[in-house]
Amino acid sequence: MPREYVHRASFAEVLPTGWHQSAPDEFTVTAQWPRRHSFYTEQGGLHDPMLLWETIRQSLPLLSHTGYALPFGHRLSWERFRCTLRPEAMRIQLTPADLELRVSCSGIRRSRGQLAAISMDFAITRDGAPLATADTRFVCHSPAVYERLRAGRADPAHALATALPPAPPVPPHLVGRTLGHDVVLSPTATPRRWQLRADTSHPILFDHPVDHAPGVLLLEAARQAALATSPAGHTVPVELEVSFSRFVEYNAPCWITATPLDPDPQGRPRTHVTATQHDRVAYAATLTTESPAGRR
């Protein structure tokens, strides 16, 4: 799989292995997960849900370029993303996990003949067994449109050169991590409020230079905030719903706030997470967490 199709610089971080079109606006993507990964680490014997979210994210540019002829150099921006997974299907086995993602596309909008916006619905299986469902919508920007949209902030080199240094991390065990390098939250004096910690040297979160905080960093921040807020042991985010409204810049603090919600009908903890910068909400997410021992 060419890395350019999934907007990755490292071949080792490419998760899809193939794709084909089965009908108009219907596609199948295949993917494989390694049994162990340096960043997407084991969660109580389960594959990291972030690995699932990243697999879906990589499918967006893949199908945009291959299925809808989106030119390279066009930028994708998330509007919303929702995913529900089955923890029992995430268990690490003796072989790598082979996935099939069946994708239905709708709400297609074009501008000057090029893809401008699209919605995708995912039904994901592992070895034929249901693993997850997801849906998302994103927009596509030509280089010229993106330059206007970013209003002088589209240069990755300048954005990274003016980035705030990463603040000290919270203790890793509080957010489901073992290494401080992988922690994306920095403590504040306010309970359940953190500063986003953007370490632009991180080889996975910053696989390649970008002019704003990447989506994978923001999802990891939401996940870590939810784990820090949920009861001890509830380390698996089984449901995620997030909407994006603004870019997060590197040169100003971004504040992550978590608010516990009422449990879901199954009694699982739910957490609402927001990111604000310059007193404006950049994204809002709701996560439902479960203990890895919750289902066997």
CA angle 37, 211, 246 (to 5 degrees): 95
Question: Is residue 244 within 8 Å of 80, Cβ to Cβ?
Answer: yes
- CA dist 87 → 52, 58, 132, 184, 288 (Å): 11, 21, 9, 24, 12
**CATH number of this structure's domain 153-296:** 3.10.129.10
- The pLDDT of residue 294 is 56
The reply to whether domains 1-151 and 153-296 share a CATH topology is: yes
Q: Please provide residue 106's backbone torsions phi and psi, each rounded to the nearest 5 degrees.
A: -155, 180
Q: Tens of pLDDT along the chain (296 residues)?
A: 999 999 999 999 999 999 999 999 999 999 999 999 999 999 889 999 999 999 999 999 999 999 999 999 999 999 999 999 999 999 999 999 999 999 999 999 999 999 999 999 999 999 999 999 999 999 999 999 999 999 999 999 999 999 999 999 999 999 999 999 999 999 999 999 999 999 999 999 999 999 999 999 999 999 999 999 998 888 899 999 999 999 999 999 999 999 999 999 999 999 999 999 999 999 999 999 998 875 54
- The pLDDT of residue 295 is 52
Question: What topology does CATH give the domain 1-151?
Answer: Thiol Ester Dehydrase; Chain A (3.10.129)
Q: How far is CA 103 from the centre of its chain?
A: 18
- The pLDDT of residue 296 is 47
List helix spans (H) across 203-268.
215-229
Residues 56 and 84: their CA atoms lie apart, in Å, by: 12
List helix spans (H) across 151-243.
156-161, 215-229
Enumerate the domain spans of the chain. Answer: 1-151, 153-296
